[in-house]
Amino acid sequence: MKKISFVLIVLALISGFVFASGSSETAAPADSNTVRVGLLCIGDENDQGYTYNFIRGRDEATEMLKADGINVEWVTKYNIGEDATCRDANIEAAEEGCQIIINNSYGFEPFMLEVVDDYPEIEFISCTNCASAFDGRDNTHNAFANIYEGRYIAGVVAGLKLQQMIDEGTITPEQAIIGYVGAYSFAEVISGFTSYFLGARSVCPSVTMKVSFVGSWSDATAESDAALALADQGCVMISQHSDNTTPATAAQSRGVFHTGYNNDMTGIAPNASLISTRIDWGIYFYEAIKAYVNGEEIPQDWCKGMGDGAVVMTQLNEAIAAPGTAEKIAEVEQAIADGTIQVFDTSTFTVNGEELTHAFALDTDGDFTADSEEAVYDGAFHESVFQSAPYFTVQIDGIEWLNAAY
């Protein structure tokens, strides 16, 4: 009886094969002005943060390309893990006829690289990561934007608010403490909160900062708890490098202020959130896809900043921002664009009481410690010059790490 059952199931399987072979195949579009692009996302648009920002970029690029007569067929896959499911998603997108495959999370890259050699004719892009420089392949690419520029300006907005509170006597100069909710003690995060802090200190000299790492890129509860704890430790301004909006609502519930990341958070915390900064991925998607369609190379490592619109500020919350903030933003944006302000100007910060004179940018031998390309020259640390992914990992004076999460 059991043998019969086995035979039956095998028969069912074989019939499945026959059935399947008759079904329609999907291939790359034949029209040369139509391109099929895969977008693999770690979350979905409901995060109202990281992945939502990519989806916005996708839709924006689609419109811009349409104006140029290029049609994009997107294959978007959501909620992919930084694990072997990412490799399978890349295979899947490649088999479904995608000509360009964009991986939106840092941790996707090693799994993407397992697949790329099987599809030499397909272009693979890993956003926010950095392996393409040394992997010796033509079809792998990286991309990021100078988000530290936007962070710096968000810091300026926060600093103006703190200075206003000091001037009005609401807080003493020593009470101008920023609380920062970070995901991990990771270069991208360290670079982000340092530039934010330097922006704030450029307009509010007495400011200090406390950083709390939650040990997750996206954990709404932990992010909220960290923000509440920071507020309870006397922080009057909260900012974040994590995927959710809960730090904003936590700040509002404690009656302190907030600046955000990835998305405008003034809607959910109108009394707390001053402004956010985000990467406009539409600029990159447009350039990369356009280059592909025109038969040009997609840049091996793409990185642009505010001057090109790749980093943007969201709407300023005029109701609660300090007077004159909008003008100051415009001024600093201009200064960053024309180079008169260097975000990591080494004369503006110290490390253990001394000026920073040396830091390497790149890891070339794969031991995860930077070992080449001097990043400090001409009086500044040059972030995102040697590769798009941030490499600033220095702990500067004035920022207190409450914990670390590697």
Partner 1 sequence: MMSTEARTPMVRLAKRSDMSPRMIWCIRFGSILIALLLGCIPILLTGSNPIAAYEVIVAGSLSRPIYIRQTIRIAIPLLGCALAIAPCFKMRFWNIGAEGQITMGAVFASYFALFWVNRIPHVPLLIVMGIASAIAGGIWALIPAFFKAKWNTNETLFTLMMNYIAIGIVAWLQGGPWEGRKGSQLIPMFNDAARLPEVFRVNCGWIIVLVLAVLMHIYMNKTKQGYEIAVIGDSVNTARYAGMNVGWIMMRTMFISGAISGLVGFIIVSGANYTLYKGVANGVGFTSITVAWLSQLNSFAMIAISMVLAILEKGANTLQTRMQIPASIADIITGILLFCMLSSEFFINYRLIFRRKDEKGKEADA
Which residues sit at the interface with partner 1, rule CB under 8 A? 1-2, 4-6, 8-10, 13, 16-17, 19-21, 23-26, 75-79, 81-84, 88-89, 91-93, 95-96, 106-107, 110, 113-114, 184-187, 189, 215, 363, 368, 393, 405-406
Angle at 98 between CA 93 and CA 99, to 5 degrees: 135
Please report how close the Cβ of residue 177 comes to partner 1 at its closest, in angstroms: 24
Please report how close the Cβ of residue 323 comes to partner 1 at its closest, in angstroms: 38
Choice between 195 and 266, CB closer to partner 1: 195
Tell me how far apart the alpha carbons of residues 239 and 91 are, in angstroms, rounded to a whole number. 38
Please report how close the Cβ of residue 370 comes to partner 1 at its closest, in angstroms: 10
DSSP state of 132: G
Residue 145's closest CA among 339, 390, 363? 390
Choice between 112 and 156, CB closer to partner 1: 112
Choice between 220 and 405, CB closer to partner 1: 405
**Which tokens in the block code for residue 296?**
């040009």
**Which tokens in the block code for residue 104?**
């939106």
Please report how close the Cβ of residue 82 comes to partner 1 at its closest, in angstroms: 7
Tell me how far apart the alpha carbons of residues 146 and 390 are, in angstroms, rounded to a whole number. 8
Distance spanning both ends of the chain, measured CA to CA? 56
Choice between 197 and 391, CB closer to partner 1: 391
Cβ-contact 276, 262 below 8 angstroms:
yes
Please report how close the Cβ of residue 386 comes to partner 1 at its closest, in angstroms: 16
Tell me how far apart the alpha carbons of residues 344 and 72 are, in angstroms, rounded to a whole number. 38
Q: Checking phi first, is residue 295 left (phi over 0); if not, alpha (psi -120 to 50) or beta?
A: left
Choice between 88 and 345, CB closer to partner 1: 88
Choice between 348 and 393, CB closer to partner 1: 393
Please report how close the Cβ of residue 268 comes to partner 1 at its closest, in angstroms: 25
Question: DSSP string covering 380-392, please?
Answer: EE-TTSSSSS---
Choice between 283 and 359, CB closer to partner 1: 359
Please report how close the Cβ of residue 205 comes to partner 1 at its closest, in angstroms: 30
Cβ-contact 339, 148 below 8 angstroms:
no
Choice between 333 and 383, CB closer to partner 1: 383
Residue 57, H or E segment:
helix 50-67
Please report how close the Cβ of residue 127 comes to partner 1 at its closest, in angstroms: 15
CA distances from 134 to 53, 103, 363 (A): 28, 18, 10
Tell me how far apart the alpha carbons of residues 73 and 76 are, in angstroms, rounded to a whole number. 10
Tell me how far apart the alpha carbons of residues 38 and 117 are, in angstroms, rounded to a whole number. 17
Choice between 114 and 355, CB closer to partner 1: 114
Please report how close the Cβ of residue 97 comes to partner 1 at its closest, in angstroms: 10
Choice between 153 and 183, CB closer to partner 1: 183
**Which tokens in the block code for residue 226?**
């960290």
- Rounding to the nearest 10 degrees, give the CA dihedral for residues 208, 213, 217, 222: -110
Residues forming beta bridges with residue 203, ordered by sequence position: none
Please report how close the Cβ of residue 111 comes to partner 1 at its closest, in angstroms: 8
Tell me how far apart the alpha carbons of residues 369 and 180 are, in angstroms, rounded to a whole number. 25
